[in-house]
Amino acid sequence: MAFAAVRASAVGFATAPRSPVQQLARGRVACRSTAKEGELTGVVFEPFTAVQGELAVVDRAPTSASYARVDFHPECEAAINEQINIEYNVSYVYHSLYAYFSRDNVALPGIAAFFKKESEEERHHAELLMDYQNLRGGRVKLQSIMMPEMEFFHTEKGEALYAFELALSLEKLNFQKLRALHEVAEKHGDSQMCDFIEGDLLADQADAVKEFAEFVSQLRRVGTGLGVFEFDRQMAARQ
């Protein structure tokens, strides 16, 4: 009878559910029992081992090279420099439009102020790309800028419509160039560069195309006389 009680007690102890703490402690003991002395178990990433290759690259890098460059393909670097040149060229054209509409015999100050602002905006885009090039460890290489036209008079359309049609074409071309830049980044699996182009450049460029298209539509309605004068006043009010 006593033996049966002891056996029942032992069985009860063996089958009693363990608390989470007991289960965790049991797992730790089992882990220790299979590990060698001084060895860590369950470690997937060993930083001091994994970093040796990159450490060697940094150690051998000359002072003339970027220390920040990592997974930045030379084709991406070259494509960014090309886009910088595109932004500066567009800025230069808009600056020439600003100068034209500021003339005393043209006298459309609202349109002139608008193109001056757009010129500064395109130059800002170029600077964004330059900052990004430096961020990724690339080298900024400025290229030649083409001399823009300085005369925008058009007998049939008038200078205002002609200028905005030209500007719309430039904005659409720039959008296509940014898409091509994005494709270069995508080709080389550079998701960070893709994110930069999408977030800082492409979204604004799509808005600019829409805005210039609306200006062209309005100028086609108003003709070349008093309507352009009123359009200019509205452009001045926007600044």
Q: Which pLDDT value is given to residue 187? A: 97
| Cβ count near 48 (within 10 Å) | 7
CA separation (Å) from 211 to 167, 208, 216? 11, 5, 9
Q: Which pLDDT value is given to residue 198? A: 97
Contacts of residue 145, Cβ cutoff 8 Å, sequence gap at least 6? 85, 88, 89, 92
Tokens of 46: 């060993």
140 has a pLDDT exceeding 80 = yes
Alpha carbon dihedral 193, 194, 200, 202, in 10-degree steps, equals: 140
Contacts of residue 77, Cβ cutoff 8 Å, sequence gap at least 6? 133, 136, 138, 139
- Closest C-alpha among 119, 101, 118 to residue 207: 118
Lowest mean pLDDT among 8-17, 95-104, 167-176, 206-215: 8-17
11 has a pLDDT exceeding 80 = no
Average pLDDT over residues 128-138: 97
